[in-house]
Amino acid sequence: MAEISALQAARAQYQPKLPKALQGPVVAVEGKATESVGNQKEIKELFPNTYGMPVITFEAGNQPKLEPFNVGIILSGGQAPGGHNVISGLFDGVKSLNPNNKLYGFILGPGGLVDHKYMEITPELMDQYRNTGGFDIIGSGRTKLEEVDQFEKGIQILRELGIKALVIIGGDDSNTNACVLAEYYAAKKYGVQVIGCPKTIDGDLKNEQIETSFGFDTACKTYSELIGNIQRDCNSARKYWHFIKLMGRSASHIALECALQCQPNICLISEEVEAKAMSLDDVVTYIAKAVADRAEEGNNFGTVLIPEGIIEFIPAIKKLIAQLNDILATPEAQNLGRSEQIDFVKAHLTKDNLAVFNSLPTSVARQLALDRDPHGNVQVSLIETEKLLSTMVAAKLDQWKKEGKYVGKFGTQHHFFGYEGRCAAPSNYDADYCYSLGYNASRLIANGKTGYMSVIKNTTKPAAEWIAGGVPITMMMNLEKRNGKMKPVIRKALVELDGAPFKYFASKRAEWAKQTAYVYPGPIQYWGPSEVCDQTTKTLQLEQA
């Protein structure tokens, strides 16, 4: 066994808390039949075997004795703190049903299922990873489970290992794949159940049934510590504006949560930028005005939080990207070189979109027009939005200085916090929440469910009062365009501008912009008073208040 840190050794002894309903035998209580959040007719036709199932809630009851069975588990997509605790919760839950049950992990994500690469998770192995960050116990991957050939290769190894159920831990795309796989195996009557678990630090996999995706709590606390450190430095040196880009391509939940924790001078919210139909110049002017106002008070320093996906929310650029996606999805564009691709794109853009394209800095325009990620999205994390905005703010301030409208100094520093938060040791909240999600998944399996996502609710209360159950994945789905085609996907949850977290932020931001009202959250605490160690995110507190 590799040497471990003192913190890891101490954390290994932490026993995550479980909802009272999961502390003994359970009975599944079924609610009403469900329907998808959109495109009900089309989703029902695509998922005839797993559509319309009821929401499940577990209550204390009598668990019938089960014959031994094996379970498989997959970590899919980007890492998120708490993944190991989902696995340990599933491991303990499966063993509690029958000590002879086995848990197999597929190596490096869904590709491990297709390529038949796996390992048994033994008690000795599991004990090395309890309450630790990362996905390194079996690794993760981004192979998409979409093709019949993949499903059939998967069933071969599942049958060989005697696996009754497969648990897929992932975000909205990974759980969409889980839903497709569950439907296929149900239609073929293969007898293999598929269960999902809601993971993403971005916080955009949530709805009325899912309060939060796991890892969001820990990642935001990790980023907030770093932002607090920068704000302390900023307030000490008093000579730089720090432009801080934060993960969150499709939604601004991380930026909003970090703003609630740290009270920066400026925090951009992508959803608001889109709702107000702001141009890139509008965003730049908004920041520059705050810089100028602070300069009048002699404060030539500050912090700006920027969601990484904000460029896609500026309406004119969003419209441009939509057409770029369609152009790049055509067969003619597939085999072109990079320089040829730029020329091809420009030749096929509408007049308005071409004007927007030509107005952008060359580096940004090239990034928008070239490579896409596996889901067909612009790779916005590669666009240095923080430098783009600070450069444009500097130019506007220079213009204002010539006009006598600005008298300050504008020095900048740039940061991008992403990977720093994805594999942090989970907070007590995420350690408990993730363990409960995994343990709960074992109960969904024991009750014969497939096509469900494991859910734990009421999590602002003490863990004993948490509510455990399952939600049909089809309930969360609608149709969206991906790679030029309409496909069933789980609808992403965006920041709600009429929601309590944003409304609280909006009520405070003018004060934070002018004053130096910084809060310094400090590092995650694992031992000590519950009000320090077990607190949830500000977002969840405000939503559940």
DSSP annotation string for 37-100: SS-HHHHHHH-TTTSSPEEEEEEE--PPP----EEEEEEBSS--TTHHHHHHHHHHHHHHH-TT
3-state secondary structure of 489: strand
* Phi and psi, residue 413, nearest 5°: -130, 150
Number of structural domains in the chain: 2
- 507, part of any domain: yes
Residue 487 lies in a domain: no
Rounded CA gap, 516 and 242, in Å? 14
**E strands, 171-288, in order:** 193-198, 241-246, 266-267
360 in a structural domain: no
Residue 233 in domain: yes
DSSP 528: S
Active site residues: 202
Give residue 417's domain range. Answer: 216-309+377-422+498-544
Residues 270, 177 share a domain? no
Structural domain contains residue 316? no
Residues 157 and 239 in one domain: no
What does the alpha-carbon distance between residue 399 and residue 188 come to, in Å, rounded to a whole number?
Answer: 67
Show pLDDT as tens, one digit a residue, over the chain (545 residues).
Answer: 568 899 999 999 999 999 999 999 999 999 999 999 999 999 999 999 999 999 999 999 887 788 999 999 999 999 999 999 999 999 999 999 999 999 999 999 999 999 999 999 999 999 999 999 999 999 999 999 999 999 999 999 999 999 999 999 999 999 999 999 999 999 999 999 999 999 999 999 999 999 999 999 999 999 999 999 999 999 999 999 999 999 998 999 999 999 999 999 999 999 999 999 999 999 999 999 999 999 999 999 999 999 999 999 999 999 998 899 888 888 888 888 888 888 999 999 999 999 999 988 888 888 888 777 766 677 777 789 999 999 999 999 999 999 999 999 999 999 999 999 999 999 999 999 999 999 999 999 999 999 999 999 999 999 999 999 999 999 999 999 887 789 999 999 999 999 999 999 999 999 999 999 999 999 999 999 999 999 999 999 999 98
* H or E segment to which residue 102 belongs: strand 102-106
Residues 143 and 270 both lie in one domain: no
Query: On the CB side of 486, how many CA atoms lie within 13 Å of its CA?
Result: 7
Whether residue 342 is contained in a domain is answered as no
| CA pair distance 197, 109, nearest whole angstrom | 14
Domain end: 440, 458, 482, which one? 482
Tell me, yes or no, whether 367 lies in a domain: no
User: Both 237 and 119 in a single domain?
Assistant: no
Pair (471, 502) in one structural domain:
no
Question: Residues 53, 158: one domain?
Answer: yes
Exposure string of 124-159, with b = 16+ CB inside 10 Å and e = fewer, is ebbeebbbbbbbebbbbbbbbbeeeebbeebbebbe
* Distant-in-sequence, close-in-space partners of 194: CB < 8 Å, separation ≥ 6: 165, 166, 167, 168, 178, 179, 181, 182, 185, 450, 451
Q: Are residues 468 and 528 both part of a single domain?
A: no
In this structure, what CATH number is given to the domain that contains residue 476? 3.40.50.450
Task: Give the CATH number of the domain where residue 400 resides.
Answer: 3.40.50.460
For the CA atoms of 329, 330, 333, 334, the dihedral, rounded to the nearest 10 degrees, stands at: 70
Same domain, 233 and 297: yes
Which of the listed residues 457, 482, 507 is the one where a domain comes to its end?
482
Q: What DSSP character marks residue 161?
A: T
Same domain, 17 and 151: yes
Same domain, 272 and 211: no
Residue type, 515: Q
Mark whether 416 and 461 lie in a shared domain. Answer: no
3-state helix, strand, coil in the chain (%, to 5): 45, 15, 35
Shared domain for 402 and 434, answered yes or no, is no
Q: Does 293 reside within a domain?
A: yes
